[in-house]
Amino acid sequence: MRTILFELALTFYFAATIISIIEIFKGGPNINKKESRVLLFIAGIGFVIHTASIIYRYAAAGHLPITSMHEASSFFAWCIVLIFFFLEYRYRVGIMGSFIMPMVFILMLSSSVLPREIRPLSPVLQSYWLGIHTFLAFLGNAAFAVAFGTGIMYLVQEHYLKSKHLGGLFQRLPSIQTLAEINYRLITIGFPLLTLAIITGALWAESVWGTYWRWDPKEVWSLITWFIYALVLHIRLTAGWRGKRAAILSIAGFIVVLFTFFGVNLLLKSIHRFP
Amino acid sequence: MKILVLGVNHKTANVELRERLAFNGDKLESGVSGLHNVPDVREIALLSTCNRVELYTYVNNIVSGADNIKKFLSAFHNIPRNDFEKSLYVHADSDAIRHVFRVASSLDSMVVGEPQILGQLKDAFDFALSKKTTGVLLNKLMKKAISTAKRVRTETRIAENAVSISFAAVELAKKIFIDLSSKSFMLLGAGEMAELAARHLVNNGVRDVLVVNRTYERGYELAKEFNGKAVKFEDFLHELIHTDIIICSTGAPSYMLNKEQMQKVMKERKHKPVFIIDISVPRNIDPDINKMENVYLYDVDDLQEVVDTNMLERQKEAEKAEKIIDEEVQKFISWTSSLQSVPTIVSLRQKAEEIKNEELEKFKNKYPDMDDEKMKAVEYLTTAITNKLIHPPTVTLKEDTEDRDELIAMIKKLYGINGDDNEE
């Protein structure tokens, strides 16, 4: 059942991705917004099934399913879709799906090729902190992932406006100010979540090892991420730095997030490594 | 079906001729009723705008109808026929329907896709309707013209992009700012195009308007028009700090705003985006400013380029629109030809009904003691039989077949329906 649900969710996300890519290449303005509703509908079904598959796995494992690469990728994708739907509800930027769904699909695809068995939890991880700490971290990083998408949308639209060649997606993309606003909002959501994740992680570490901070690679890279987004917020509030630079920084920030997520697990030794 | 359209437009006639043929003011009413009295004309509607004068008619005979209308036009406007006949297009039947649909869908307009023409056409028909010069056919034609125009608008992108410089400015502003109502706008200088763009911006929600002019009085007058505030010329740089959209159109021979000044302004306004439209020639704003972040500077050539691209896009969409119109013309033609059989079907039904009632009457007289329930059953039975009998010929007549005229004649002969009926 778990497998079926997961595969089904993957299939729906795949369909949504195909539609979203067609959307990008079709260009021109939305004629009747029908396509973006289809996209939302299919992605929505995928999300519901995905949620069910995570709950199933939660029940089977007895803890939040984020303890293997398979689980983590899938859960990360789930968080991104959650935030995407929240933004869609709030801002109704139909074309956003075209920038988010491919990302979700790639995460789900990489999750699908990784080993799926549920392994017993090592004693160190058996703590209520596991759910709190990881959930905060995943949700925060998902906000950064969507901010990355809107950052790219911003750069595309800004390029059209500056070059004065208003082709392709110009009509479909919202105003750059809307994109900057969404981007900023996402960072103001992601940043406190990341901060809380780092704090809860430190508290958890203290309860297990008696020390708050061990300079574990994941800790270090999370701190780098934290500084990047802190910088985005800081310069926006003080110098009013906004627009293009903020968009570029939010793209750079997410690349660091990705490295923290995948790179650390694959390349470096870390207590955060999945077994 | 005998639909006839006559007219001149911006492509076939120059302004002078269009003016002479125009039905404006009082001429419209006398024109419509005059045309309605022209021999052969059964229904008429009249459209007269600055770009076109068109007559939509339903006539008894295409050739004599067209001739009579031309005679009327010549007499009414006091123009010799030779003066306008060459410029006058005459479309009949399917060509006429297509023409009406194309006009309504704005494919025949000077600026393809401009939306005003549909409203003008509606007004023209409403006027004719109020004068009772239209009937079933033209009313249906108008209804279909409107629905075709709507289909074209929703299924193609013909009216999507701005095709005038002043609209292009608004379109761009909407792609820079979240909502225009919270934005402030400065009109620097004056001029027709600048004022038009300003008006479009105000119509699109911009509320906070500043007007700067070298002569304060002129600025004051303009400001009143936009419900805005006049600002002294010396203060304009300072006011830029709070300004999101600037339209600049002054006669200054050199740059009024350079990069250093703008850098200071941007710092002061914390780099909030600015949209500057410089439609002055020579340009009044240093083009280098466009290289600054969060500043979007468009000069008149840039806007023209936007307009040209949009125009090209519209041409492409127009091809799609023509296909839609072809479909709708076909539908309309089959509707009109189905009209032909309506009188015959009606007569056939009447005939059947008469026979049934006659026979029922006889039956009632013959069996006066019959109780109500049984009588009802007999009535039901006879109705069912007559309906069943006339159903197949009705369906056949409604079908759009090649030999419908023959079928109509045959039914009339077989059932003894007289030919004098109301068939037009």
Q: Same domain, yes or no, for A14 and A83? A: yes
Is A27 part of any domain? yes
- The angle at the Cα of B135, spanning B325 to B395, to the nearest 5 degrees, equals 70
Q: What is the pLDDT of residue B63?
A: 92
Q: Does the pLDDT at position A266 exceed 80? A: no
Contact check, Cβ <8 Å, B309/A166: yes
> Closest approach of chain B CAs to the CA of A36, in angstroms?
16
Chain-chain contact of A162 with B296 (C-beta, under 8 angstroms): yes
CATH among 3.30.70.370, 2.60.120.260, 3.40.50.720, 3.40.50.300 for B165-303: 3.40.50.720
Considering the domain architecture, whether residues A156 and A72 belong to the same structural domain is answered as: no
Pair (A51, A83) in one structural domain: yes
> What average pLDDT does this structure show over B44-64?
92
DSSP one-letter string for B350-378: HHHHHHHHHHHHHHHHH-TT--HHHHHHH
Q: Any CB–CB contact under 8 A between A269 and chain B?
A: no
User: Which domain range does residue A172 map to?
Assistant: 140-275
Name the active-site residue from B11, B15, B24, B50.
B50
Same-domain check for residues A200 and A270: yes
Asked if A5 and A56 touch (Cβ cutoff 8 Å), the reply is: yes
Decide: B112 and B316 in contact? Cβ < 8 Å. no
Residue B34, pLDDT score: 93
Contact B272 A176 (CB under 8 A): no
Residues A150 and A179 in one domain: yes
Q: Would the CA dihedral through B199, B200, B206, B212 be positive or negative?
A: negative
Over 80: is that where the pLDDT of B338 sits?
A: no
B64 or B342, greater pLDDT: B64
Question: How sure is the predictor about B423, in pLDDT bands with cuts at 50, 70 and 90?
Answer: very low
Q: Which of B88-92, B254-258, B306-310, B339-343 has the lowest mean pLDDT?
A: B339-343
Superfamily of domain B3-155: Glutamyl-tRNA reductase, N-terminal domain (3.30.460.30)
Is A161's CB within 8 Å of B176's CB? Answer: yes
* B248 among known catalytic residues: no
CA distance B229 to chain A (A): 26
**So what's the pLDDT on residue B55?**
95
The partner residue sitting opposite B270, judged by closest CB among A161, A165, A240, is A240
Which chain A residues contact residue B321 at CB under 8 A? none
Residue B21's pLDDT band (cuts 50, 70, 90): very high
Convert the pLDDT of each residue in B184-221 to its tens digit: 999 998 888 888 888 889 988 898 899 998 888 888 88
The pLDDT confidence band at residue A34, using thresholds 50, 70 and 90, is low
DSSP B313: H
Sequence-distant (6+) residues with CB within 8 A of A270 are A216, A217, A218, A264
Question: How far out from the chain centre does Cα B303 lie?
Answer: 27
Residue range(s) occupied by CATH 3.30.460.30 in chain B: 3-155
Do A62 and A190 lie in one domain? The reply is: no
Contact A239 B270 (CB under 8 A): yes
Quickly tell me which residue has 């002055």 as its tokens. B280
Q: Are the beta carbons of B154 and A31 separated by less than 8 Å?
A: yes
**B262-271, B379-388, B403-412: which has the minimum mean pLDDT?**
B403-412
Domain identity same for A150 and A268: yes
* Chain B nearest-CA residue for A167: B309
Q: State the Cα–Cα distance between residues B242 and B232, nearest whole angstrom.
A: 15
Q: Give A167→chain B minimum CA distance, Å.
A: 9
Give yes or no for A27 touching B (CB within 8 A).
no
Same domain, A191 and A86: no
pLDDT at site A27 = 59
Whether B176 contacts chain A with CB within 8 A: yes
Q: Mean per-residue pLDDT for B318-343?
A: 87
Rounded mean pLDDT, A153-160:
93
Pair of tokens at residue A143: 């906000």
- Closest-CA residue of chain B to A154: B176
Bridge-based pairing of strands B245-249 and B229-231 is unpaired
Separation in Å, CA of A256 to nearest CA in chain B: 25
Share of chain A above pLDDT 70, in %: 94
Q: How far is B176 from chain A (nearest CA, A)?
A: 5
Q: Which of residues 139-158 of A touch B (CB under 8 A)?
A: 157
Pair (A108, A146) in one structural domain: no
Question: Is the model more confident about B150 or about A214?
Answer: B150
* Stretch A172-198: mean pLDDT: 92
Q: Least CB-CB distance to B271: which of A29, A160, A240?
A: A240
The span from the CA of B343 to the CA of B347, in Å, is 6
| Residue A134 belongs to some domain of the structure | no
Distances from the Cα of B147 to the Cα of B101, B104, B124, B126, B151, angstroms:
9, 9, 16, 16, 6
- Asked if A62 has any chain B CB less than 8 Å from its own CB, the reply is no
Interchain proximity B178–A173, CB inside 8 Å: no
A243–B271: do the CB atoms touch at under 8 Å?
Answer: yes
> pLDDT over 90 for what percent of chain B?
46
Where residue B58 falls among pLDDT bands split at 50, 70, 90? very high
Question: For B352-391, how does the pLDDT look when each residue is reduced to its tens digit (9 = 90+)?
Answer: 899 999 999 999 898 888 888 888 898 899 999 999 998 9
Burial of residue A262 (number of CB atoms within 10 Å: 0-12, 13-18, 19+): middle
> Residue B47: enclosing H or E segment and its boundaries?
strand B41-48
Q: Do A164 and B302 touch (CB under 8 A)?
A: yes
Q: Give chain A as a DSSP string.
A: -HHHHHHHHHHHHHHHHHHHHHHHHH-S--SSSHHHHHHHHHHHHHHHHHHHHHHHHHHHHSS-S-SSHHHHHHHHHHHHHHHHHHHHHHH--TTHHHHHHHHHHHHHHHHHHS--PPPPPPGGG-SHHHHHHHHHHHHHHHHHHHHHHHHHHHHHHHHHHHHT---TTTTTS--HHHHHHHHHHHHHHHHHHHHHHHHHHHHHHHHHHS-S----HHHHHHHHHHHHHHHHHHHHHHT---THHHHHHHHHHHHHHHIIIIIHHHHS--TT---
- What is the overall mean pLDDT for chain A? 87
Mark out the alpha helices in B156-282 (DSSP H runs). 165-176, 192-203, 216-225, 236-239, 259-268
Whether chain A has a CB inside 8 Å of the CB on B379: the answer is: no
Q: Which of B155, B157, B178 sits opposite A175 (nearest CB)?
A: B178
Q: Tell me what pLDDT residue B310 has.
A: 84
Tokens 């609209």 appear where? B167
Residues B121/B47, Cβ–Cβ less than 8 Å: yes
Annotate A109-129 with DSSP letters as a single string: HHHHHS--PPPPPPGGG-SHH
For the segment A17-27, the average pLDDT, to the nearest whole number, is 81
- Classify residue A130: in a domain, yes or no: no
**Residue B162 pLDDT more than 80?**
no
B41-48 and B52-59: which strand pairing?
antiparallel
In angstroms, the separation between the Cα of residue B154 and the nearest Cα of chain A is: 7
pLDDT score at A29: 56
Chain A contact present for B204, CB below 8 A: no
Beta pairing, strands B245-249 & B184-189: parallel
- Which pLDDT score, from 0 to 100, does residue A66 have? 83
- Give me chain B's average pLDDT, please: 88
pLDDT at residue A109 is higher than 60: yes
A28 contacts B270? CB cut-off 8 A: no
Q: Tokens 């001429």 correspond to what residue?
A: B27
pLDDT of residue A33: 62
Q: What is the pLDDT of residue A152?
A: 94
Name the pLDDT band for A35 (thresholds 50, 70, 90): low
User: Do the domain assignments include residue A84?
Assistant: yes
Q: Is-contact B239 B186, C-beta < 8 A?
A: yes
On whether residue A135 sits in a domain, the answer given is: no
Nearest CA in chain B to A178: B178
Question: What's the token pair of residue A16?
Answer: 């949504």
- Residue A183 confidence (pLDDT): 92
**Residue A57 tokens, joined:** 């796995």
Q: Which residues of A touch B306 (CB under 8 A)?
A: 164, 166
In total, how many domains does chain A have? Answer: 2
User: How close A225 comes to chain B (CA, Å)?
Assistant: 25
Same domain, yes or no: A145 and A95: no
Q: Name the residue with tokens 């789900």.
A: A108
* pLDDT average, residue stretch A225-251: 86
Residue among B176, B178, B271 minimizing CB distance to A181:
B178
Least confident of A156-170, B36-50, B334-348: B334-348
Cross-strand pairs, B89: B7
B175 and A176 within 8 Å at the Cβ level: the answer is yes
**Which value does ipTM take for this structure?**
0.85
CA distances from B226 to A197, B114, B209 (A): 53, 25, 7
According to CATH, where is 3.40.50.720 located in chain B? Answer: 165-303
